Structure formats: C-alpha cells, structure tokens
Chains A and B, each alone.
Chain A
C-alpha cells in the first residue's frame, strides 16, 4: 500500500500493489495516477536501442530531395536548421534543433542511463537528476508535428517540383512510434522506488 496525491487535483489515494498493465486513475478528476508495466526494464531498453539505430539513420541519410527538370536538390534533417542559422534567424533554428533533434536524443540517452544500470543491478551517480530531466523535457519533443510539417510542405511544393522522400524520412517516421513505445514502457513508479531503495 502506498500513498500518493493526484497531481491534477491533490486528492490523496492509498494504492494497493497493482497487477501489471493496470492503470490507477484519480477517483475525483480521473487523471491517470500511474500505469504499472510488465517487463518495464527489458521493453524500455529494447525500444530505446531500436530508436537509437533509427535516429542515426534519420540524421545522417538524405531526408527529402526536390527534383525540377535538371535541378536536383537533396537535403538532410539538419539542412533547414543550418540554413536558418546562416540567415541569422538563430532563435528559430535553435527551437527546431531542440524540439526535433536534440530533445529526442536526450530522451533516449536518458533512458539508457537509467535503465542499463537498473538491468545490470548497479548504481550510477546522478541517476535521479537525469530521470528528472527526462521528465521535464518530454513536452518539448515534437517529432510527430515535424512529420505533419513534411506532408504540408510536400503539398505546398507539389506544383513546383517533384519531392522524393529519402531513407531518413522513413526512419524518422518509424522513430516517432518507437520512441513513443519506449516512453510508454517506462514504469516511473518502479524506477523511483528502485533508484531510492538501491539496487
């Protein structure tokens, strides 16, 4: 039995040990208090490793190409950001870089930093601050919106030229799902208890 307060309405609940995959909801405002996960550590690690592979592909391979007669222009995920930088629009370039490139990477590396030691039953320094950072950056990871932006751009330029999606777009699209599966496998309550109690 443990006691927690709903983060959205502050009502105190006493929660009995929960079976895997069960969700505890606040009886007053219906907020999700937490979800217990089965095999949280193994599943999170598997999805995170898959995500990192896709990430490397998404960043390093051609993203979109534009063809208009003899002119062929190929771009990577970072090209637009780099061009915004060169145009002097640094805040904008930084925002796009953070939300679509850096924060997803921080999320994955953060998960590895927490879950690999949990799996190996060892303790590492700064595990708690890292997990806190991981929680704070979550709303600022926006790859799925970037994907919608790609669709809009393709329609917008469709009349001017042919747009050819590259390998990186596919990896990027898959990464959105894989990263979400990784995040959904995280059993936060279990992680905090294990970080607190020692391995």
Chain B
C-alpha cells in the first residue's frame, strides 16, 4: 500500500461519507448542496458546522444531565408506601445490599460514561478550535473511544422498561418510570449525536496547516 501522503482536501478531492467514493470536488460544493456521483449521498468536505453543532449538542446534553440525576428514575409503590429512586440512590442501594458489581455497572453506564463523554468532547473541541494538537493519533483514538462507549448509557433506560413490564398491576408492588428517565434518554441521544457530529478529520487539518 503506497500512500499519497496528502489529504483529500488538499488534492481537491472529496470523499463520500456513505460509500467512500473519492471524487473531484465539484465547483458547486462551496455554494450549495451536491451529491455523490455514485450513491447519491450529500457530499461534504467536512461534516457541516461540525464544531458549532457538537458544542450545541454537548451543552444541551449537560443541561439534561442535571434533571436526569436529580429527579427520580423509578417510582415504586408497594402496599401503601411510595418511594422514588434516583440513579444514585439505586447505585447506593446495590452497594449496601452486597451487589457491588451491579452498582459499579450502573454507575459506570449512567453516571460516569456521559460525564466522560462531556470531558472528552469538550477537550477535542478546544484542541481543534485553539489549534493545540500535539498528538493527533491519540486524539483520534480518544474520539473513537467516545463514539464506542456512548451507547452503553442506554442501560438504565432498558432496566426501567424491563422493570415496568415485570412488576405491573396485580402485583403487590408497582413500578413506574419517573421523570428522570426521559431526561436521561435525552442525554444519551444528544451525546451520541454530538459524537457523530464531530469530524475527526478536523484534528488532522490542524496538523496539516502547521506543516505548510
């Protein structure tokens, strides 16, 4: 494999995000929408408004993260008593009742992973915006990592769904989804879309500019 050692951007080529066809950059690309000559996907040299869009989504996710953690995730009513559980109170419950593995799994998926994604995405955004890229390979790896872990935050949403299904009316207890579940789902979706909106090629563009 002999690399041309140049980016498609500098060669005046554009790579299709769906079928990866490399085509000559059309004149109209800077002015309006153009489509891949092979598969018809919208062509972009870089993901459109990548930085602004990622910032907006990260900030939105951080806002949703607060009610997701403060409000109750599940509301359990058993023989006259009603108890509301937040994510953290669930984690603490498991720790006190000996299932520390489950406590760890829930804490990692629901509290730690979203938090880590905020930190990494903000770090990547700042690195690209202020052109402070020293180790582009490490930053790309960090990006791949955030892209891969985000989906695991869905765990608690699924647990709520399964609990609601299993413990329904007719039983001694009844579990309902609390308001935090919706905010939490929004956190997961917005952070996933945020990671998808960030274009890792921007990291390498910074390095490319410096070498010129």
Spell out A's residues near B (CB within 8 Å).
3-5, 7-16, 24, 27-31, 34, 64, 66, 68, 71, 73, 75, 79-81, 83-84, 87, 89, 91-92, 95-96, 99-100, 128-129, 131-132, 135-136, 139, 142, 145-146, 148-150, 152-153, 155-157, 159-160, 163, 188-189, 192, 195-196
Cβ contacts under 8 Å, B137 to chain A: 28-30
- Contact partner of A12 (CB less than 8 A), chosen from B7, B158, B167, is B7
Binding site for A on B (CB under 8 A): 1-9, 11, 13, 15, 17-22, 38-41, 94, 97, 99, 102, 105-106, 136-137, 140, 143-144, 147, 151-152, 154-168, 170-173, 176-177, 181-182, 185, 189, 192, 196, 200-201, 203-205
Question: Given A4-B15, A12-B7, A71-B171 in contact, is the A89-B163 Cβ separation under 8 Å?
Answer: no
- Bound complex: CA A160 to CA B165 (Å): 15
Q: How many pairs of A and B residues are in contact by the CB < 8 Å rule?
A: 200
Question: How many Å lie between the Cα of A156 and that of B155 in the bound state?
Answer: 14
Shortest C-beta distance, A198 to chain B (Å), equals 13
Contact B21 A192 (CB under 8 A): yes
Q: Are B204 and A145 in contact (CB under 8 A)?
A: no
A-B contact pairs, 16 of them (CB 8 A): A4-B15, A10-B15, A12-B7, A12-B8, A13-B3, A14-B2, A64-B162, A73-B166, A83-B165, A84-B177, A87-B164, A92-B185, A132-B40, A139-B151, A149-B159, A153-B162
Distance in Å from the Cβ of A69 to the closest Cβ of chain B? 10
Residues of B within 8 A of A29 (CB): 136-137, 140, 200, 204
Closest chain B residue, CB of each to CB of A136: B18
Out of A139, A160, A188, which one reaches B196, CB within 8 Å? A139
CB nearest neighbor in B for A9: B204
Q: Is the CB of A27 within 8 A of B3?
A: yes
Question: What is the CA–CA distance of A80 and B143 in the complex, to the nearest angstrom?
Answer: 34
Who on chain B is nearest to A192 by CB?
B19
3 closest A-B pairs (Cβ-Cβ)?
Answer: A149-B158, A80-B165, A5-B8
Q: Compute how far the CA of A99 lies from the CA of B150 in the bound complex, rounded to whole angstroms.
A: 14
Instruction: From A16, A71, A139, give the contact of B192 (CB < 8 A).
Output: A139
Most buried by B among A27, A64, A129, A156: A156
